[in-house]
Structure 1
């Protein structure tokens, strides 16, 4: 009988020791312990060492205050143009009020995920399919706004919501791919036509400039040739004028008349050298030895009388 009593007291002492050690709590950083005293909320233990009353106080909830991510599973949504798309995302939240997160809702993670899904469906229902790919920021902002409004009573804060994938049906993907390929081909054809157009313009401008340059060169060549010819004529005229003036001056000097007659006679006789070779017709005076008749023939006497 005494042995049984000792065993009972030993068990009670062991339970007391266990409860005593359980009443000592070391709370890590970025954590919060919710303490209940006799089934009622008593206090929130922050990071550090804390001692509780055995059998009276107990830690009912442990809340992690670090930012965490919650995957939103894929769900089917209908766009405004009645296209079924599959959307999934991820939520970034953190607990800001451990008491509300413990007593304000049963499971804030599940509630945030469900609210994000319903809000995503409602926002996509107001957009056409093409805009759903462009308005990701709009969808994310709307989900964050709704979750923030609900998170005030849940003791959480929603930092951001990101859409990971928007997957339309395979038929829509094929149609979109065909549209993209058609647009790419249109741009390629347009770019090629623009290139050909610019090439033709450049070639025609080159030909036009070449023709202009050639005509300008020909014009300048003719101007230079005309100026050269005019200079040549002017030089010959001045030389002829000077030679005539000098000849006239020489003729008027003593013996000039006789020198002129002698030179003309030499030139006249030189014409008879090629009579046998050339096909020329020459009228000769009746008496070749009559020098005076020669002079009369060539009109030298008229020059003298003049």
Structure 2
């Protein structure tokens, strides 16, 4: 009875050691008598107790690894305190077990050396502008070497770039000076545009005034020309009618009468003016001779027509 119990206990231990349950997204490395004997995938697995053993257990999930902060020197000999975070994943459990004694330490050290090499090729200002390029080059450098360790580097992100306090103060002063420069330029541009606008407005106003004055002068000249033409036309029509009237019977007598009336009116006006000295002809036949002379001039003008 006691032997049976001992045998049952041994069998139970044997069965317990032979059954292994591998979790999802994990891979276990099996060794048989110290030699690699296979990789156990997730699920229920069996091994030979006391002959096989689980040597390594790996997680196949994406692993974030904090890379310790370090001092890097830029191309222009400026020190930078840089820290970052690395994301990697075990893709080959066998290589991760036997390719490196500690792939996490190896990846960490390689990330630091690669980061120092990349930053050493850049000037200080470029390190702040080219973060994506730095991250990509670090990933490329690590991923090539990490293939022998069964690890795939997914990405690297710089968390912080901290220059010395003196550099920070100089950068702040530079930023302040740049902003003041931009403000002065903007103010000068505003004044310049204001002067341009004022000059443009004055020029347009002057042009408008000159155009108005020009049009007014043209209108006035046209009005005066029209008035002169109208007066000339009226005078011509009056003379033409007088000439036509003279040609009718009794026309010459009417003209003589009109000239005589005008002469009498003229003498009357001269006589009414107290400041005028009037010399009256001694013989009134002189007045008749004056009228006769005027009529001869009118007749001569008519024959000339």
TM beyond 0.5: yes
Query: Offset at 1:14?
Result: 4.4
State the SS of the aligned residue for 1:75.
Answer: strand
Describe how 1:116-131 pairs up with structure 2 within 5 A: 116-131=111-126
Query: Offset at 1:75?
Result: 1.2
**Structure 2: tracts of 5 or more residues without a match:** 298-305
From 160, 163, 178, give the equivalent of 2:158. 163
- The answer to whether residue 145 in structure 2 is matched with residue 150 in structure 1 is yes
- The answer to whether residue 90 in structure 2 is matched with residue 95 in structure 1 is yes
In the alignment, the residues of structure 1 paired with residue 215 and residue 226 of structure 2 have an alpha-carbon distance, to the nearest angstrom, of 16
Q: Which runs of 4+ in 1 moved over 4 A?
A: 8-16, 261-276, 290-296
Verify the 8 A CA contact 1:285 1:293 in the aligned structure 2: no
Verify the 8 A CA contact 1:23 1:54 in the aligned structure 2: yes
In the other structure, the counterpart of 2:244 is: 249
**Structure 1: tracts of 5 or more residues without a match:** none
Query: Offset at 1:282?
Result: 6.7
Give the direction of change, closer, same or farther, for the CA distance of 1:275–1:164 in structure 2 (3 Å limit).
farther
In the other structure, the counterpart of 1:226 is: 221
TM-score by length of 1: 0.84
In the other structure, the counterpart of 2:100 is: 105
TM-score by length of 2: 0.84
- The answer to whether residue 173 in structure 2 is matched with residue 182 in structure 1 is no
Partner deviation per Cα, 1:106-140 (whole Å, 9 max, x = no partner): 22122211211122122222322122212323322
In the other structure, the counterpart of 1:44 is: 39
In the alignment, the residues of structure 1 paired with residue 254 and residue 126 of structure 2 have an alpha-carbon distance, to the nearest angstrom, of 115
Give the direction of change, closer, same or farther, for the CA distance of 1:254–1:93 in structure 2 (3 Å limit).
same
Query: Offset at 1:265?
Result: 5.5
Query: Offset at 1:292?
Result: 6.6
In the other structure, the counterpart of 2:292 is: 301
In the alignment, the residues of structure 1 paired with residue 163 and residue 271 of structure 2 have an alpha-carbon distance, to the nearest angstrom, of 114
Give the direction of change, closer, same or farther, for the CA distance of 1:106–1:256 in structure 2 (3 Å limit).
same
CA RMSD, 1 decimal? 2.9
Give the direction of change, closer, same or farther, for the CA distance of 1:235–1:38 in structure 2 (3 Å limit).
same
- The answer to whether residue 276 in structure 2 is matched with residue 285 in structure 1 is no
